Amino acid sequence: MNSKQSHREKDRRVLVIGAIILVGIGLLLAGLWYVQVTTAIVYIKDQKTQSMRTVRIPAVRGSILDIHGRPLAQDKPTFVINAYLEELRHHFRAEWRNSKTEQKLNKTESGQLEIAVRHRVVSRFTEKLKLTQSIDVTPKQLQAHFSEKRALPLAVINNLSQTNIARFAENSWKVPGMELEVMPKRYYPSLSVAHIVGHLRRKTHNDNGVFQYNYHLPDFEGKLGAEKTFDQYLSGQPGTRAVQVNNMGYRQVESMPVTPTPGSNVFLTLDRSIQEHAMKALEKGLNISGSKAGAVIVMRVDSGDITAMVSAPVFDPNQFTPGISHSLWNHYLTNRPSALLFRATQERYPPGSIFKIISGLAALENGLNPTEHIQCQGSYRIGRRIINCTANPGLYDFKRAFKHSCNSYFIHHALSQEHGVKHIIKMGKQFHLGKRTGLLPEQETAGQFPSLNDISRGWSDGDTANISFGQGPVSVTPLQMALMTATVANGGTFYHPRIIDRITHSDTKRTKSSINFPQSTIRSQLLVRPENLDILREAMHADVADPEGTGHAAHIEGYNICGKTGTATIRGGRKTTWFTSFAPYKQPNYAVVVMVENGVSGGKTCAPIAKEIYEALISRDKQTSITEN
């Protein structure tokens, strides 16, 4: 009896378990049937209405840095509020229903109402965030985005302040379809480097058939300066985002199969602190003299490296991204003097008396006795023409004529058969006048300098007189004069100027991808006697050290500066004023050239500017020495 009951109990358990298994299998089969049969139409419909779109994601642009790694141009994070229109569709429809009138609307009126409705909805939601910044998009811009790029987020408020970022965090729950995102924006912390670093412009995309993107997020490319020259390194490699959209163009799902690679960093030879000091000194000098334009160059005499190079007036590269306004661009184009012109390399000027460095060296090389005196009458007559001399009448040897900038002395020796103009032309060619330096290929002029063939036809004694003191058929750039001065200072080695030091990848572990630009590349050697360079350098020292020298305004006690002033008169009575110099006298480190358009004179306008720059160099070098010790 007990055995039968036990068997019956076991049979009942088996039946229950079997029934449960059968019910489970039945449910699975029912679910499979539902998925494969009942919802097949839905899946087929989705396949027909969905598609993939590829979006080009720009990389973070590399930085441009000075020699010490201080930023001159960098991508700075900015916060924007993006609207995702697919999440606002229901609100668009509700607003549309509320806005419709009983009157029938034609197609044009209906389209205009749709545009106004969408903009109204977005504006209303942004107002709920209680921000102090208003919406940045117009109804027309919103409609263009809705028609062409509705799968992408729309930036409705840009450059949020810290206060508004906090307010968004507090109030974002009140609004649908709005997100706070970080976007890179190009930032230039020092306007003094604007002409060298350049600026960006909105990129026009052409995929060249390599990879076709459906959408391109806002991207920029270099338009000027280092931004343009090294754009391929700075821009990095873009990424790709895959977006699944429905037949209405709204985003469904997205992924990022290719991540953007940041751009490389470009290091310049500039010292940002000296660059900014040079700009302040130049602007101060311009204000004092009533001038409006000028340029300064600070160069290492032992390598040709550019420590500072500024031009005034200057434009603001920050205004070019995301796009410069028409009014500001027209101002830059029409205002004179133009802020777009880089006067250190892009404009040519008559050198005036600083050219006496070349004409004087040519005379010395051709046998001029520097102790021999000539009589200056206060002017020099050539035929009917009288050339005035800024020096007082009297006897002048080479040093005294140089430091007083006596035109008569240099005209006399240039017109003599023994020290003729041919020697001046040959000497100028040794300094590569009339040729580009190659420093900034798209921002440089070659200047003007006559050849030996030029003086064989139609050349007059007046032309010879003019060129002896830097007037007439000769024009130069401040950069060319800096190279001339550095060559005299270092004993006759003419270097290629250098402003790019290296390019490094943003990933410091990838050292193999770094590019170093060679230092101290020699272009030529002066074919002159060392003793003549000594005589010239001694005269340049006297021009600053002696109280009667024209460059004495640059004098710094205990720091021997060698220099030469120049004042060239051009058409309309305007002047180009100069001061070119190097220091210290015995062991020179730097060449400093100052040029001011329409200044008072080289000694009164330019020499004080150079003095302030040397003081900044002295202060920096002392601080560096203290730090190293």
Which band of pLDDT confidence, cut at 50, 70 and 90, is reported for residue 530?
A: very high
- Contact residues for 371 (Cβ-Cβ < 8 A; gap 6+): 397, 398
Q: How far is 289 from 601, CA to CA, in rounded Å?
A: 9
Question: How many Å apart are CA 405 and CA 607, to the nearest integer?
Answer: 14
Question: For the packed helices 272-289 and 607-628, what is the interaxial angle rounded to 10 degrees?
Answer: 160
User: Is it the case that residue 543 has pLDDT exceeding 70?
Assistant: yes
Per-residue pLDDT, 432: 97
Strands 500-504 and 522-525: unpaired
The pLDDT value given to residue 261 = 82
Answer yes or no: are the C-beta atoms of 137 and 121 closer than 8 Å. Answer: no
d(CA 526, CA 471): 23
Helix, strand, coil tally for the chain in percent (to 5): 45, 20, 35
* Structure tokens, 26: 């039945």
Q: What's the pLDDT score for residue 53?
A: 57
Task: Find tokens 């003097």 and name the residue.
Answer: 337
Concatenating the DSSP letter of every residue in 561-623 gives: -EEEEEEEE-GGG-EEEEEEEEE-SSS--EEEEEEEET-S-IIIIIHHHHHHHHHHHHHHHHH
Dist CA 12 CA 423 (whole Å): 125
So what's the pLDDT on residue 249? 45
CA distances to 39, 268, 567, 600 from 502, in Å: 62, 7, 38, 40
Is residue 423 within 8 Å of residue 363, measured between CB atoms?
yes
Closest CA to 45 of 309, 263, 313, 246: 246
CA angle 347, 352, 356 (to 5 degrees): 125
361 pLDDT higher than 80:
yes
User: Do residues 281 and 613 make contact, with C-beta atoms less than 8 angstroms apart?
Assistant: yes
Residue carrying the six token digits 């280092």: 226
Residue 47: pLDDT over 60: no
Least-confidence region, from 389-398, 445-454, 503-512: 503-512
| Residue at token pair 């160059």 | 297
Label residue 100 by pLDDT band (50, 70, 90). low
Pairing of β 515-516 and β 500-504: antiparallel
Which ranges of 392-460 does DSSP label H, i.e. alpha helix? 398-404, 407-415, 421-430
Query: Tens of pLDDT along 283-294?
Result: 999 999 999 999
Nearest to 347 by CA among 481, 194, 524: 481
Residue 250 pLDDT exceeds 80? no
Write the secondary structure of 444-456 as one string of H (helix), E (strand) and C (coil). CCCCECCCCCHHH
Q: What angle do CA 48, 49, 51 make, to 5 degrees?
A: 95
Residue 562's pLDDT band (cuts 50, 70, 90): very high
Q: Compute the distance between CA of residue 539 and CA of residue 533 in angstroms, rounded to an integer.
A: 10
Q: What is the pLDDT of residues 164-187, one digit of tens each?
A: 889 888 888 888 878 888 888 899
Residue 43's pLDDT is 53
**Could you tell me the pLDDT band of residue 111, with boundaries at 50, 70 and 90?**
confident
Would you say residue 49 has pLDDT above 50? no
Q: Check pLDDT > 50 for residue 59.
A: yes
User: What is the tens place of the pLDDT at every residue in 196-243?
Assistant: 999 998 877 665 545 566 555 667 888 999 999 999 999 887 776 665
Average pLDDT of the segment spanning 20-46: 70
d(CA 292, CA 341): 13
Q: What is the pLDDT of residues 576-623, one digit of tens each?
A: 999 999 999 999 999 999 999 999 999 999 999 999 999 999 999 988
State the residue for tokens 């007189």. 465
Q: Which helix (H) or strand (E) holds 136?
A: none
CA distances from 151 to 44, 80, 141, 238 (A): 22, 18, 15, 19
Look up residue 504 and give its amino acid.
Answer: T
Summary mean pLDDT of the chain? 86
Residues 381-435 pLDDT 10s:
988 889 988 899 999 999 999 999 999 999 999 998 666 899 999 999 999 999 9
Q: What domains are there in the chain, each with its CATH number?
A: 53-268 (3.90.1310.10), 272-315+341-506+513-628 (3.40.710.10)
Tally helices (H) and strands (E) across the chain.
19, 24
Q: In angstroms, rounded to a whole number, what is the distance separating the alpha carbons of residues 486 and 165?
A: 53
**291, 576 in Cβ contact below 8 A?**
no
- Cis peptide, bond prior to residue 393, ω within 30 of zero: no
Q: Cα-flanking dihedrals φ and ψ of residue 494, to 5°?
A: -95, 110
**Model pLDDT, residue 121:** 83
DSSP character string of 516-544 = EPPSS-EEEE--S-HHHHHHHHHHHHHHH
Take residue 38 and report the two structure tokens written for it: 């009942």
* Cα Rg, the chain, nearest whole Å: 37
Residue 184 pairs with which residues in a beta bridge?
77
Q: Is 206 helix (H, G, I), strand (E, B) or coil?
A: coil
- Determine what percent of the chain is predicted with pLDDT higher than 70: 86
| Pairing status of strand 64-65 against strand 265-268 | parallel
Please name the residues in contact with 246: beta carbons below 8 A apart, sequence gap of 6 or more. 49, 50, 252
% of the chain exceeding 90 in pLDDT = 54
Q: 3-state class of 357 per DSSP?
A: helix
142 pairs with which residues across the strands?
none
Please give the residue that has the higher pLDDT: either 189 or 238: 189
Residue with tokens 């310049």: 268
* Cβ–Cβ < 8 Å for 291, 312: no
